A and B are shown apart, each in its own frame.
Chain A
């Protein structure tokens, strides 16, 4: 309830502010993500992280250029690509130059195409696309363009890092891959098969299946198959209720091996697993939360929790988006012409709060950073998720993961 009230207040505030603030001293960033519907929890939490990052990292330290302040303007896209395009137009009409979006690669694909088209037709008010979460590899390969920058590790990079760790574990002989039946689930499965085949041809893939997304009531029959296949490890790209359902089912029915996931944390999932997930549940992601990489990261997280006691920093990369954008604007010396800003972002190297180096690759605008395999645990966790006492602890790290991975991107620069 508190969430929805604060959301209402936040939207009302941003609306009223955006209606009056025509002065040039605010730099607006449009946040286009689901703020209502089934994925609103994730969207609202992301919005809070953006607002907090802009406030703390930029505005509180004097802003950019000559004291220009960042302002996050929220747009609800209801996780629909169609709605996102409408919101994008509204944002552009309001004179906003920076578009941040992350939830759903389907939306990101629609946005990147629309922004590319818009920028070609309207050279006077071009915009930049700051993709902080959509991990479909195509966005920085076949569908790449000069205006799109991805701050998360894409699905292939994550799988590359994950299989590095799995390849080093000799006890893994049989792997079961299970996922949701749609583009992302298929991408995860294909990447897993490819990388495991390259790195550990001796590993047998004993199962590779997709289940209907969001429709499975009880995962027990799938669990029985996994057990019958005597899998040593499970890989899944599941998220939301499907993640909890699958995870709890395998753990309750006697599976003790590692369960490698992409999204089994925060937004209630960490609390739902609780004690059952300890020892098995692993998660591949960027952004080291535990142990805190340095005092600055710890102080930042504490300040965030003080402001949003029910929130989680579940997308650490958001601070990288804000910091790198501020740096690029300062380097370019302008906040209105996005071409020099994009050139400044290209190839930019930066030290993240979370203790990793960052490099925005020129060739495809895919950021390269440390990718961690986290363990779900309550031991040694400084900052828990969902106030549950459980959180993610870095298990192993792949430094600058997939820095030399190939890309099929043919960037056309203005």
Chain B
């Protein structure tokens, strides 16, 4: 029982982190109609920038400045890169962001080298917030939860309660009409792209110290972010939140408990072959949940695409 609570918290942290990445990506997608393959690379840039800044000015300045730099970089990429490629259609855009992802990874390796960076949590937060049955919950995790929730509420408020948010929402669905009404739609697009990448930057800043700051960090998280927004529904902020939490909890629980396929199959009424190592089903029988934890979200995505193509809370087809 205690362990369930601990795993709920762990899954929440993973999910919220994923949300910060997918929120930006889903906004960018609904705006441009194109998946930004370089999104996780901005997450990596956030971590590296924050690490570099933290060497001179400390963690908190890193948290403040790094996402800004990443956001400005992102806006620059939209203004001088994507906007030019946009006229040639979606495929060149996809290839552009894909190339950008590779480029960013190489640049990071060139500047910071290939080793793991010594980026660590700030001293103020290096204590155990509370423990549940001997399982310590570090204060930093609580901090991560609060930052992510604050960002979610802030985003929701801006998008639904302010004039800017309404213009953005309008521009997402009817860009031509909004433009005809005298709004600068390209500027809005650039702004959304900048904010989206800045969000990825924030995620990088706060995830870097716990998940490690190394050149492979974008790759490790890259594909799962796409899965998240497909499951949640493209362009839906709430969908991104629900899908992120779902994925966070599914992977955490399946890793934390050794559920065996053997037990499931027996419960379903199958009989275990006597000589298991000769059976063609050997691999199936010996499967455990931690082994397949990381592919469960992909299975979920396939199911969603089959039965609910516009995602959990999305309004249009994936």
Contacts and interface: CB of A to CB of B under 8 A. Distances in A.
Interface in B265-291: 290-291
Interface stretch (A51-59, A69-77, A142-150, A244-252): A244-252
A224 to B, nearest CB: 5
Contacts of B252: 220-221
Given A3-B113, A212-B294, A218-B211, A224 B6 contact: yes
B260 interface: no
B102 to A, nearest CB: 14
The residue in B211, B221, B256 that gathers the most chain A C-beta atoms within 10 A of its C-beta is: B211
Given A244-B116, A254-B131, A224 B212 contact: no
Contacts of A40: 114
Nearest to A273: B118
B211 A245 contact: yes
B290 A209 contact: yes
A224 B134 contact: no
B120 A274 contact: yes
A119 B8 CA distance: 60
B14 interface: yes
Contacts of A222: 255-256, 290
A215 interface: yes
A236 to B, nearest CB: 15
A212 B255 CA distance: 12
Interface in B163-221: 210-212, 214-216, 220-221
Contact of A224 (B7, B14, B113): B7
Contact of A254 (B136, B214, B253): B136
Contacts of A3: 113
B10 A267 contact: no
Nearest to A272: B116
A81 to B, nearest CB: 21
A268 B115 contact: yes
A241 B114 contact: no
Interface string A203-246: 00000010110111110111011011010000000001100110
Given A40-B114, A241-B216, A218 B14 contact: yes
Interface in B110-143: 110-111, 113-120, 128, 131, 134-138, 140
Main secondary structure of the interface of A (DSSP, over half): helix
Contact of A386 (B118, B135, B216): B118
Contacts of B114: 38-41
Contacts of A228: 3, 135
Contacts of A407: none
Contacts of A217: 14, 211, 220-221, 224
Interface residues of A, number: 41
A36 to B, nearest CB: 10
B90 to A, nearest CB: 29
A206 to B, nearest CB: 12
B10 A220 contact: yes
B27 to A, nearest CB: 23
A245 B215 CA distance: 14
A80 interface: no
Interface in A183-208: none
Contact of B3 (A4, A224, A267, A272): A224
B212 A241 contact: yes
A336 to B, nearest CB: 38
B110 A254 contact: no
A388 interface: yes
B248 to A, nearest CB: 9
B118 A388 contact: yes
Contacts of A38: 114, 215-216
A214 B216 contact: yes
Given A38-B215, A212-B294, A221-B7, A253 B255 contact: no
A61 B221 CA distance: 52
A240 B115 CA distance: 8
A399 to B, nearest CB: 33
B290 to A, nearest CB: 7
Contact of A221 (B10, B115, B116): B10
A271 interface: yes
**Top 6 A-B pairs, shortest CB-CB distance:** A268-B115, A254-B136, A221-B255, A271-B118, A221-B256, A268-B116
Interface of A: 1, 3-4, 38-41, 209, 211-212, 214-218, 220-222, 224-225, 227-228, 230, 240-241, 244-245, 248-249, 252-254, 267-269, 271-272, 274, 276, 386, 388
Given A221-B7, A222-B256, A386-B118, 6 more contacts: A3-B113, A4-B113, A224-B256, A244-B116, A245-B212, A253-B135
15 contacts: A1-B113, A38-B114, A38-B215, A38-B216, A41-B113, A217-B211, A217-B224, A221-B7, A221-B255, A222-B255, A222-B290, A224-B10, A244-B212, A253-B136, A271-B118
